[in-house]
């Protein structure tokens, strides 16, 4: 999972705009970040491990001059958390140089790698580099090259790319990972993984980039090239709505906040329980918790306060600190919990390691009953399309019944939102979503267990 942005802003400092857009996308990846900028001639780039704010300063940003920029913030899923896998990637073709950044995960990387010239040297271990090399080794204009990649590559890929004087963006033919387009001033454009980043840099939301669509922005303005996608169903990732995206983003005009609020309301209808208060596990479940409270008529309280600076900890806690576990992230508001029958709304249970600790924390703080309510159905299948979701062995709902999960979490009751309830909350047609992690059917993946995995 990653966040990407692309900026075309004549007369402006595009790297700085990309920096602020990426800042709004930091939740999509905290492992490494990078920005490449083009000034019509040279492409310059800077990338490092770590959080955006720790990587970039005035000196570095002012080196990245030019009116075109792309940026990437990365969350890797396997042991390839090293700087050569950080993006943007820089490549050279007979057309000139380009910088490239990818959100998603390819599912036929090995097959694609086999089509590369035998002399091709791969430095990174990611699927993204294979795609970048495919562009290098294709023929024709950049649009022709992207078209040939769109015809071959399977899986999830939202891409931003800049040459010395153009910005490109494109999305896989299924539209698994989001990518939207905004207008910046008179003749500028911004693309970003989520619409929240457009607001941050003062761009106006125009629309989603369509699946299979290629966008090119140059001195001639914005052009769009649509490739054939009629045969493939569209498949926006449902987990973007459940957990991943920021609540102040929208996909296709459907606000993530309102979708989550509605999930909470429907959850309250599907799984009511006698209780005194409703709370959510911050931050991702807050809108769902407020929706649950509104529907149930019970007061919404804050039961846990999350340390908002925790992010990804690069210093691993020593053994004594580790045993403090969730306390590093959450402290209970004892005054709100003592002797209360508490409904706790969370967005998902994935591995089932955090959830029992949260239940225990609430009980220690004096909660008399703890009723767990989850705004998604059980996550029973892995994701091959860019969410770090673990394997069948690790997914608690792939291995245990709801009652067994209840017992393992230590909750007094447990209710999951139904699939129909979830789909209705999001307000899109079932056939337009990827529900892979919930039902085990994937839009463009041959068979779940045969997938070649090289996560980005
Ligand atoms: P679990 O019980 O599976 O250990 O943890 C469930 C919690 O993990 C939920 O609060 C949910 O918001 C959060 N969560 C779900 N997906 C992800 C993810 O991809 N990354 C992280 N860091 N947390 C996640
Ligand atoms: Mg959470």
How far apart, in Å, are the Cα atoms of 234 and each of 136, 151, 193, 253, 384?
A: 28, 16, 17, 16, 16
Return the pLDDT at 255.
98
Give CA torsion, residues 5, 6, 9, 14, to 10 deg. Answer: 70
Rounded average pLDDT over 164-185: 97
Ligand 1, atom nearest to 355 Cα:
2
Take atom 18 of ligand 1 and give the residue whose Cα is closest: 388
Which DSSP string do the residues of 18-80 spell out, in sequence order? HHHHHHTTGGG--SEEEEEEE-SS-EEEEEEES-HHHH--HHHHHHS-SSEEEEEEE--SSS-
pLDDT greater than 90 at residue 180: yes
pLDDT greater than 50 at residue 448: no
Nearest ligand to the CA of 351 is: 1
- The fold adopted by the segment(s) 255-433 is Rossmann fold (3.40.50)
Pocket test for ligand 1, best of 350, 361, 400, 437 (most atoms within 8 A of CB): 350
Return the pLDDT at 453.
47
Between the CA of 278 and the centroid of ligand 2 the distance, in Å, is 16
pLDDT greater than 80 at residue 342: yes
For the chain, which residues make up each domain, given as ranges?
Answer: 3-232, 255-433
Return the pLDDT at 321.
72
Rounded average pLDDT over 57-81: 87
pLDDT greater than 90 at residue 123: no
Strands 341-346 and 277-280: parallel
Return the pLDDT at 317.
64
What letter would DSSP give residue 450? G
Return the pLDDT at 444.
77
Q: Is the CB of 270 under 6 A from ligand 1?
A: no
Residue 236 CB-density burial (10 A; 0-12 exposed, 13-18 middle, 19+ buried)? buried
The structure's pTM equals: 0.94
Take atom 19 of ligand 1 and give the residue whose Cα is closest: 388
How far apart, in Å, are the Cα atoms of 382 and each of 31, 158, 278, 391?
A: 21, 20, 30, 5
Max mean pLDDT among 63-72, 105-114, 312-321, 323-332 falls in 63-72
Nearest ligand to the CA of 352 is: 1
pLDDT greater than 80 at residue 16: yes
Q: Is the CB of 243 under 6 A from ligand 1?
A: yes
pLDDT greater than 50 at residue 449: no
Rounded average pLDDT over 84-106: 94
Q: Is the CB of 158 under 6 A from ligand 1?
A: no
Buried b (16+ CB within 10 A) or exposed e, 163-174: bbbbbbbbbbbb
Between the CA of 94 and the centroid of ligand 2 the distance, in Å, is 47
Q: Is the CB of 352 under 6 A from ligand 1?
A: yes
- Percent of the chain past pLDDT 70, that is, above it, reads 93
Q: Is the CB of 281 under 6 A from ligand 1?
A: yes
Ligand 1, atom nearest to 351 Cα:
3
- The fold adopted by the segment(s) 3-232 is 3.60.20
Confidence category of residue 302, pLDDT binned at 50, 70, 90:
very high
Report residue 411 as tokens.
Answer: 């909750």
Q: Is the CB of 353 under 6 A from ligand 1?
A: yes
2 is catalytic: yes
Between the CA of 348 and the centroid of ligand 1 the distance, in Å, is 6
Query: Rounded to whole angstroms, how far apart are CA atoms 294 and 298?
Result: 7
Catalytic residue among 2, 162, 383, 434: 2
Ligand 1, atom nearest to 352 Cα:
2
Report residue 324 as tokens.
Answer: 């403090």
Take atom 21 of ligand 1 and give the residue whose Cα is closest: 388
Q: Is the CB of 227 under 6 A from ligand 1?
A: no
Rounded average pLDDT over 274-300: 98
Nearest ligand to the CA of 386 is: 1
Q: Is the CB of 125 under 6 A from ligand 1?
A: no
Q: Is the CB of 354 under 6 A from ligand 1?
A: yes
Pocket test for ligand 1, best of 28, 75, 243 (most atoms within 8 A of CB): 243
Return the pLDDT at 164.
97
| Summary mean pLDDT of the chain | 92
Between the CA of 64 and the centroid of ligand 1 the distance, in Å, is 36
Confidence category of residue 83, pLDDT binned at 50, 70, 90:
confident
């Amino acid at each position: 999972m990653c966040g990407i942005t692309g900026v075309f802003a004549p007369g402006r400092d595009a790297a700085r705009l990309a920096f602020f857009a990426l800042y709004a996308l930091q939740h999509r990846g905290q492992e490494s970040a990078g920005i490449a900028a083009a000034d019509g001639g040279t492409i310059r780039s800077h990338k490092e491990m770590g959080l955006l704010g720790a990587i970039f300063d005035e000196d570095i940003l002012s080196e990245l001059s030019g009116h075109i920029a792309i940026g990437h913030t990365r969350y890797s899923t396997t042991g390839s958390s090293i700087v050569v896998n950080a993006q943007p990637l820089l490549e050279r073709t007979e057309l000139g140089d380009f910088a490239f950044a990818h959100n998603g995960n390819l599912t036929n990387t090995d097959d694609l790698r086999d089509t590369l010239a035998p002399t091709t040297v791969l430095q990174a271990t990611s699927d993204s580099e294979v795609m970048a090399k495919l562009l290098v080794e294709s023929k024709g204009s950049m649009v022709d090259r992207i078209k040939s990649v769109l015809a071959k590559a399977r899986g999830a890929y939202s891409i931003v790319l800049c040459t010395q004087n153009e910005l490109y963006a494109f999305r896989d033919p299924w539209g698994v990972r989001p990518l939207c387009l905004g207008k910046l001033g008179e003749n500028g454009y911004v693309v970003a993984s989520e619409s929240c980043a457009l607001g941050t840099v003062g761009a106006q939301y125009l629309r989603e980039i369509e699946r299979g669509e290629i966008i090119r922005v140059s001195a001639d303005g914005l052009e769009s090239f649509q490739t054939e996608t009629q045969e493939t169903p569209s498949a926006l990732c449902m987990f973007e709505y459940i957990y991943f995206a920021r609540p102040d983003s929208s996909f296709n005009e459907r606000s993530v906040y309102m979708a989550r609020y509605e999930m909470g309301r429907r959850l309250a209808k599907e799984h009511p329980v006698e209780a005194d208060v409703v709370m959510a596990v911050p931050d991702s479940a807050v809108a769902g918790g407020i929706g649950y409270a509104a529907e149930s008529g019970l007061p919404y309280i804050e039961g846990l306060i999350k340390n908002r600076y925790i992010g990804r900890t690069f210093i691993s806690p020593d053994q004594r600190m580790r045993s403090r576990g969730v306390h590093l992230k959450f402290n209970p508001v004892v005054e709100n919990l003592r002797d209360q029958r508490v409904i706790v709304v969370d967005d998902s249970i994935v591995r089932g390691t955090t959830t029992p600790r949260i239940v225990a924390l609430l009980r220690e703080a004096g909660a008399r009953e703890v009723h767990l309510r989850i705004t998604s159905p059980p996550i029973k299948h892995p994701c091959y399309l860019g969410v770090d979701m673990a394997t069948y062995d690790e997914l608690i709902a792939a291995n245990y019944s709801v009652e067994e999960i209840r017992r393992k979490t230590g909750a007094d009751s447990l209710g999951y939102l139904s699939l129909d309830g979830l789909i209705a909350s999001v307000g899109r047609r079932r056939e337009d979503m990827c529900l892979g992690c919930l039902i085990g059917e994937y839009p463009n993946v041959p068979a779940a267990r045969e997938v070649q995995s090289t996560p980005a």
